């Protein structure tokens, strides 16, 4: 399975949106190389994210096999430690969708570094292929189903220290949820997974 052709467009739109949000945010946005606040704790990724990471691993392996193998080794170590309590299918890596599984995932691997993170440099070694969650973390964003008049904007707790609600709102990062949903419909695989499983896929 190859990435849908529109994924490059999605990435370009999101990255441009991030750059504009960062420009408007200025010093309020604490995100910098080496800041790893968002790189700890397991989080769910879509199958589109998973395919992008798999593509990135193939590119990385061709460009720098030693780095690619180091990433895979961290992913294997991550699974060795956390697989016994994984709230989902331990063969496929698909997260469970029952209320019990969702509740378990809330407390699953919360302190674990992402296998893609080089903890020495503080950098993501698959940064160009990172999941959408990683691409939008930091600036103020609104949830997909949110009603603009009723929901608050969410942002990294390290960012926007001292900013007013209106100042935060002025830096909102729009997310193309519709395009992402369309691309997900083109992928036969269903369900969410985690970065570790995708890196070894």
The number of residues in the chain equals 201
Structure tokens at 121: 């440099």
Per residue of the chain (201 residues), give pLDDT as tens. 678 889 999 999 999 999 999 999 999 999 999 999 999 999 999 999 999 999 999 999 999 999 999 999 999 999 999 999 999 999 999 999 999 999 999 999 999 999 999 999 999 999 999 999 999 999 999 875 444 545 678 999 999 999 999 999 999 999 999 999 999 999 988 899 999 999 998
pLDDT at 1: 66
Phi-psi region of 98 (alpha: psi -120 to 50; beta: other; left: phi over 0): beta
pLDDT at 146: 47
Instruction: Yes or no: say if 190 and 88 are a contact pair by the CB < 8 Å rule.
Output: no
Element (DSSP H or E) covering residue 182: helix 177-185
pLDDT at 144: 52
3-state secondary structure of 119: coil
**pTM of the complete model:** 0.91
Domain boundaries, given as residue ranges, for the chain: 7-143+151-199
How many whole angstroms separate alpha carbon 56 and alpha carbon 126? 7
pLDDT at 2: 77
Instruction: Yes or no: say if 135 and 19 are a contact pair by the CB < 8 Å rule.
Output: no
How many whole angstroms separate alpha carbon 166 and alpha carbon 188? 42
pLDDT at 201: 85
How many whole angstroms separate alpha carbon 164 and alpha carbon 176? 26
Secondary structure letter of residue 43 according to DSSP: -
């Amino acid at each position: 399975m190859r990435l849908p052709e529109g994924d490059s467009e999605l990435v370009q739109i999101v990255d441009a949106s991030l750059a504009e949000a960062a420009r408007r945010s200025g010093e309020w946005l604490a995100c910098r190389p080496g800041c790893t606040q968002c790189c700890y704790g397991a989080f769910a990724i879509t199958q589109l994210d998973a395919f992008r990471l798999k593509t990135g691993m193939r590119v990385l392996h061709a460009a720098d096999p030693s780095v690619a193998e180091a990433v895979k080794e961290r992913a294997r170590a991550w699974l060795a430690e956390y697989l016994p309590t994984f709230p989902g299918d331990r063969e496929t890596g698909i997260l469970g969708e029952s209320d019990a599984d969702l509740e378990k995932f809330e407390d699953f691997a919360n302190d674990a570094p992402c296998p893609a993170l080089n903890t020495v440099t503080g950098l993501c070694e698959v940064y160009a292929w990172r999941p959408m969650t990683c691409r939008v973390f930091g600036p103020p964003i609104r949830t997909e189903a949110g009603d603009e008049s009723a929901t608050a904007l969410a942002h990294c707790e390290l960012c926007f220290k001292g900013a007013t609600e209106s100042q935060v709102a002025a830096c909102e990062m729009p997310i193309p949820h519709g395009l992402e949903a369309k691309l997900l419909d083109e992928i036969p695989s269903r369900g969410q997974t985690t970065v570790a499983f995708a890196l070894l896929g």
